[in-house]
Structure 1
Amino acid sequence: MKGLRCGTSNCEHNECERCMAGIIDIGPNGACKSKIKRDGGELSQIFANYEAAPEADMLDNVDTVVQCSADCIFNVNSMCGLEAINVEDGLVKTKCMTRKRN
């Protein structure tokens, strides 16, 4: 999936709202189980985004596999069947905001 947009404010895999993990896992409740907090927190995220900004156009070509165990109409054999999803910080966890329950 080339259309994964990640709006989390503190993840090792997030660069300019693109996920660099390669494979992410969306859990049963829609939470991103692949999130790894940066050692420097949100400030470190800001610096990472700044450093990656000149390459942002190339980051659009990063292909990410989205494994999914959520109760969602887009879940096809434990894989996300969409071309693009949005993952963002919720109140408690970082979640797939594109999820639609069956």
Structure 2
Amino acid sequence: MAWFLNFYKCARCKRIWTDQWSATCDDDCPHCGARHMSPFDSERLTTLIERDGKEFVVFWSPDSAEQEPDYRELGRFPTREQAEEFLEADGY
């Protein structure tokens, strides 16, 4: 399932917050309660590359994920470039 980090700015109190979800959906302001704020930006988090010691680990959020991304490890690589190439080659 696609996974996103959404960035919001409240039209009422002007405060900024983030929220992760499976869509780029509206959210209610956690500061003042204003409703239905649309994200002004989103970062796709369906796949991630994280460093683990000397390796770079590729994670993916499967279609079965619902309320949380439920990341699964897809592979480990000696360089970040190889991890990125893996994602590009497999169409992630």
Q: Normalization by structure 2: what TM-score?
A: 0.26
Higher relative contact order (CA 8 A, sep 6+): 1
